[in-house]
Amino acid sequence: MINDFPQALTIAGSENGGGAGMQADLHTLFAEHVYGTSVLTACVAGNSYGVHVIHKLPIDFINQEFKDIADDFKIKASKTGMLADANLINAVYKNYTKYDLGPLVVDPVIASNHGEMLLENSAIKTLKRKLIPIADVLTLNFYESQKLSGIQIKSDQDMKQVAEVLQELGANNIMIKGKNDNANRKVVKDYVLLKSHHDFWLSGQYYPTHHKDGTGDTLSAAITANLAKGMDVKASIIEAKSYVDDAIKHVINVGHKLGPINHYVKFQK
Ligand SMILES: Nc1ncnc2c1ncn2[C@@H]1O[C@H](COP(=O)(O)OP(=O)(O)OP(=O)(O)O)[C@@H](O)[C@H]1O
Ligand SMILES: Cc1ncc(COP(=O)(O)O)c(N)n1
């Protein structure tokens, strides 16, 4: 059989430190036994100390990357990461809807783990109008959830309301990641609202670690990998959460400050 090995596409920015961005996505797809292809949107120069320079790629080049992927590979699932501005979001929308690239996981990267902006503020409207309505799975961290819904999250009920607002914008399945920035916390609680309106919480132990760069990218890439292998959305999310949990728990000592999580954890077991 030609082209039957599970293949996925990451549409994202490069983070040359390797902990987040496209590098985290490709590490994750590899660990999940899925062949990873990529459409590079922007390059970030940085490391575990922070983001230093951002360079966006030309739209013509991005169009060509999509064409080359579509001409050759059988993509079973795709994901988006850093898209930088409204022009890039529009280009990704046009290309994704033009080709057959499987279900789409949207990780609306707005800021880095260090707090630097990775998406221009003026692009939020385009993100909501173009990308969120075509998301099969939308994963949002606490900050992105508040920014995109306009709701201040103070309770579990607020997280549920955010998910409903985003589902009304057109996303099928929503995962809202709970607050995970307080060293005294014991548990992290993520909330999932499925297309069927079935909902559930995913609770896990909180690890007070500095090795947490790329947790969001890794989670969305693992969901994408699972979808590419034919798993359903619920199972894809549950397995992905368990992988990220393990990758945070089993620290690797790389970098001086905000280091990467352990994408190798599956090979070490
Ligand atoms: N310190 C931690 N301990 C346990 N789980 C965590 C921790 N940090 C994040 N997680 C989990 O990792 C997953 C990714 O969540 P997160 O909120 O970090 O995404 P993100 O903010 O988009 O990513 P990043 O932190 O890389 O910017 C979620 O399931 C979250 O609950
Ligand atoms: C190129 C790039 N893309 C994404 C992120 C954030 O990823 P995460 O939310 O997983 O920290 C990043 N720091 N750099």
CB-based contact 57:66 (threshold 8 Å) = no
pLDDT in tens, 100-151: 999 999 999 999 888 899 999 999 999 999 999 999 999 999 999 999 999 9
- Quote the mean pLDDT of the chain: 96
What is the pLDDT, as a whole number, of residue 261? Answer: 97
Q: How many domains does the chain have?
A: 1
Q: Lay out the sheet containing 187-193: strands in order across.
A: 50-56, 35-47, 7-15, 75-80, 104-106, 137-140, 173-176, 187-193, 199-205
The pLDDT-based confidence of 1 (bands split at 50, 70, 90) is low
The CATH number of the domain where 104 resides is what?
A: 3.40.1190.20
For residues 181-192, average pLDDT: 89
Pocket test for ligand 2, best of 11, 52, 82 (most atoms within 8 A of CB): 82
The closest residue, in CA terms, to atom 3 on ligand 2 is 21
What ligand 2 atom has the least distance to the C-alpha of 82?
3
Say if 190 falls within a structural domain.
no
What is the pLDDT, as a whole number, of residue 56? Answer: 98
For residues 64-68, average pLDDT: 98
Proximal ligand: closest to the CA of 244: 1
H/E run at residue 46: strand 35-47
Say if 180 falls within a structural domain.
no
The closest residue, in CA terms, to atom 20 on ligand 1 is 216
- According to DSSP, the β-strands at 75-80 and 137-140 are unpaired
pLDDT in tens, 190-227: 999 999 999 999 999 999 999 999 999 999 999 999 99
> Who lines ligand 2 at CB under 6 A?
12-15, 20-21, 44, 81-82, 109, 112-113, 118, 213-217
Tokens 């990451």 identify what position? 10
pLDDT in tens, 188-199: 999 999 999 999
Distance CA 177, CA 201 (A): 10
Proximal ligand: closest to the CA of 79: 2
Range of the domain at 147: 7-173+211-268
CB-based contact 14:24 (threshold 8 Å) = no
248 lines ligand 1 (CB under 6 A): yes
Say if 197 falls within a structural domain.
no
pLDDT in tens, 7-48: 999 999 999 999 999 999 999 999 999 999 999 999 999 999
For residues 249-253, average pLDDT: 95
Give the distance (Å) from ligand 1 centre to CA of residue 69.
30
Say if 81 falls within a structural domain.
yes
Say if 181 falls within a structural domain.
no
Report the complex ipTM. 0.94
Give the distance (Å) from ligand 2 centre to CA of residue 181.
16
